[in-house]
């Protein structure tokens, strides 16, 4: 839109007014979400759109991933504000290993830095956030595995919140891993085939001690799970957001929670 020959967004005070109105709407939405109750216990997020974000802004893709990692820190604060106890994020899939060696190296170096930082982060220790990673960690470089171990050991006995990072992860591979473990128990005589039921399978998943996600959010406009938590997502509510991950705003987040609150979860009934 233009005002005379000047784009309206360049008029004095327009951006400031827009920021004020956005902040007002955000606070109003936050109050509504808190007032309704019915806050999900466990939110899972597919962090999609880092590369698209970088390309749209003509910045290096590595910078896009750095901003995506920073966004996760913000989202964790928003979850704490609402009392969401468990957050699980899809950070790196098995299929992502097929990307260029340069891009994979950038991501691995970022994982090393972020896990090391998390191990000594005052916020992590103040709020008793338990950190852990799951997936086929054997495929990760040694330095990444060491950084993960450092963060996990530093937060092992915390029970305030949990942040779970799916890295080198595939939902199908997770199920295959669970089946192998069950078969090994049957072979040892610890378990009878007739005893294998949903509970037994659940107990052999990476997420055995976590509740299933109530809400799964995917950013960047894609509308699929891409193999994320295939078993656990059986009755999860799904929410797809157009924003690329680094530009995912608190308003986007609150809209996802509000949308969840408006749904009636039937669990097949």
d(CA 71, CA 253): 12
The two three-digit tokens of residue 60, written as one number: 């290096």
253, 233, 229: which is closest to 243 by C-alpha?
Answer: 253
Say if residues 111 and 92 touch (Cβ distance below 8 Å).
yes
> Which residues does residue 240 pair with via DSSP β-bridges, in sequence order?
218
Residue 137 shares a structural domain with residue 192: yes
Residue 165 shares a structural domain with residue 229: yes
Residue 52 shares a structural domain with residue 85: yes
In a domain, residue 204? The reply is yes
Sequential pLDDT tens for the chain (269 residues): 544 555 555 655 556 666 788 888 999 999 999 999 899 999 999 999 999 999 999 999 999 999 999 999 999 999 999 999 999 999 999 999 999 999 999 999 999 999 999 999 999 999 999 999 999 999 999 999 999 999 999 999 999 999 999 999 999 999 999 999 999 999 999 999 999 999 999 999 999 999 999 999 999 999 999 999 999 999 999 999 999 999 999 999 999 999 999 998 777 66
Q: By residue range, what is the domain housing residue 142?
A: 40-261
In a domain, residue 14? The reply is yes
**pLDDT at position 7:** 59
In a domain, residue 230? The reply is yes
Residue 76 shares a structural domain with residue 98: yes
In a domain, residue 31? The reply is yes
d(CA 91, CA 141): 15
In a domain, residue 269? The reply is no
Number of domains in the chain: 2
**pLDDT at position 6:** 53
Say if residues 135 and 102 touch (Cβ distance below 8 Å).
no
Q: What's 89's domain CATH number? A: 3.40.1180.10
- 190-226 burial code (b ≥16 CB/10 A, e <16): eeeeeebeeeebeebbbbeebebbbbbbbbbeeeebe
Residue 170 shares a structural domain with residue 192: yes
What is the CB-side half-sphere exposure of residue 37 using CA atoms within 13 A?
Answer: 0
Residue 115 shares a structural domain with residue 205: yes
In a domain, residue 91? The reply is yes
235, 250, 227: which is closest to 40 by C-alpha?
Answer: 235
d(CA 218, CA 233): 13
In a domain, residue 268? The reply is no
d(CA 36, CA 258): 9
Angle at 69 between CA 167 and CA 87, to 5 degrees: 60
**pLDDT at position 110:** 97
Say if residues 191 and 213 touch (Cβ distance below 8 Å).
no
Angle at 101 between CA 95 and CA 102, to 5 degrees: 120
User: Which residues are known catalytic residues?
Assistant: 48, 96
Torsion angle of C-alpha atoms 111, 117, 118, 123, degrees rounded to 10 = -140
Residue 137 shares a structural domain with residue 206: yes
> Which residues does residue 115 pair with via DSSP β-bridges, in sequence order?
none
d(CA 112, CA 1): 45
Residue 217 is given by DSSP the state E
Residue 1 shares a structural domain with residue 62: no
CB atoms within 10 A of CB 266: 7
Residue 14 shares a structural domain with residue 54: no
In a domain, residue 25? The reply is yes
Residue 31 shares a structural domain with residue 58: no
**127, exposed or middle or buried, with CB in 10 Å at 0-12, 13-18, 19+?**
middle
The phi and psi torsions of 10 (rounded to 5 degrees) equal: -95, -5
Residue 44 shares a structural domain with residue 29: no
Residue 94 shares a structural domain with residue 30: no
**pLDDT at position 19:** 75
């Amino acid at each position: 839109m233009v005002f005379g020959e000047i784009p309206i967004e360049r008029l004095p005070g327009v951006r400031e007014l827009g920021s004020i109105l956005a902040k007002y709407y955000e606070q109003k939405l936050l109050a509504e979400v808190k007032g309704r109750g019915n806050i999900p216990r466990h939110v899972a997020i597919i962090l999609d759109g880092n590369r698209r974000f970088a390309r749209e802004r003509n910045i290096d893709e590595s910078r896009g991933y750095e901003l995506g990692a920073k966004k996760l820190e913000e989202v964790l604060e928003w979850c704490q504000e609402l009392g969401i106890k468990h957050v699980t994020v899809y950070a790196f899939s098995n299929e992502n290993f097929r990307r260029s060696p340069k891009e994979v190296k950038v991501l691995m170096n970022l994982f090393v830095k972020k896990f090391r930082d998390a191990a000594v982060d005052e916020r992590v220790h103040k709020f008793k956030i338990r950190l852990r990673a799951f997936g086929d960690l054997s495929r990760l470089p040694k330095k990444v595995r060491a950084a993960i171990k450092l963060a996990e050991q530093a937060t092992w006995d915390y029970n305030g919140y949990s942040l779970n990072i799916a890295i080198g992860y595939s939902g199908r591979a997770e199920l295959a891993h669970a089946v192998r473990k069950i078969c090994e128990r049957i072979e040892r005589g610890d378990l009878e085939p007739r005893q294998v039921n949903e509970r037994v399978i659940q107990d052999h998943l990476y997420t055995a001690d976590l509740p299933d996600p109530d809400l799964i959010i995917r950013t960047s406009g894609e509308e699929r799970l891409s193999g994320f938590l295939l078993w656990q997502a059986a009755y999860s509510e799904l929410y797809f957001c157009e924003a690329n991950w680094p530009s995912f705003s608190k308003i986007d987040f609150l809209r996802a929670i509000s949308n969840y609150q408006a749904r009636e979860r039937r669990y097949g009934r």
